[in-house]
Amino acid sequence: MRLAFFNATGTLFVPKYEVQFGVFKSALNNEDLVAFCRNRNHPFKDCLVPKLVYDYIEQLDDINIPIHVIHRETDNNVRNLLLNWLLEAYAPHLNRHNIHFVGTIEEKFDLILTMQRNNQFIAQDVYFMDSDFNTVITASDKGLNAHHTSEILLQGGCK
């Protein structure tokens, strides 16, 4: 692995809900998460960082693997809020220049593959994690070392 890309939604953050009888946390599918986040004043205020994901990013940073976040978002206000939230939540492992926003899934892969070619890496050198199953399949079809977010939860094994 020589480059790592993580999608933000459902991978780098999950929402926390305040309910009548306490709090529950959920990794929602992307449509529900986007709807939930957009209906709040600060969409990411109560979101949580999954510990295993944070630990993995920390490990990659420790061995100097460039870590990039790639997120599909067109609303500039939401982009700025997410950028600031990610920089705070994942400090010191992310930097502003490695957080990319695109408008479509196709643009997401165009950016990844362009960076891969510009660095003269083979596609298998590029690690990609996303919470959307179809996006992971597409990434794999393009030759990337693609993983679904749930895989990181299974690293400790199953009971």
Residue 94 belongs to some domain of the structure: yes
Task: Give the tens place of pLDDT for each residue, 52-86.
Answer: 889 999 999 999 999 999 998 888 888 998 999 99
pTM of the model: 0.84
Residue 72 belongs to some domain of the structure: yes
Higher pLDDT, 28 or 132: 132
Residue 75 belongs to some domain of the structure: yes
Question: pLDDT class for 23, splitting at 50, 70, 90?
Answer: low
Residue 20 belongs to some domain of the structure: no
Residue type, 79: R
What number is the average pLDDT over the span 39-52? Answer: 75
Task: Give the tens place of pLDDT for each residue, 123-141.
Answer: 999 999 998 889 999 999 9
| CATH code of the domain containing 99 | 3.40.50.1000
Residue 35 belongs to some domain of the structure: no
Enclosing domain of residue 67? 3-13+48-153
Residue 22 belongs to some domain of the structure: no
Residue 29 belongs to some domain of the structure: no
Q: Distance (Å, rounded) from C-alpha 157 to C-alpha 62?
A: 24
> How many structural domains is the chain composed of?
1
Mean pLDDT, the chain, rounded, equals 84
Residue 118 belongs to some domain of the structure: yes
pLDDT of residue 110: 94
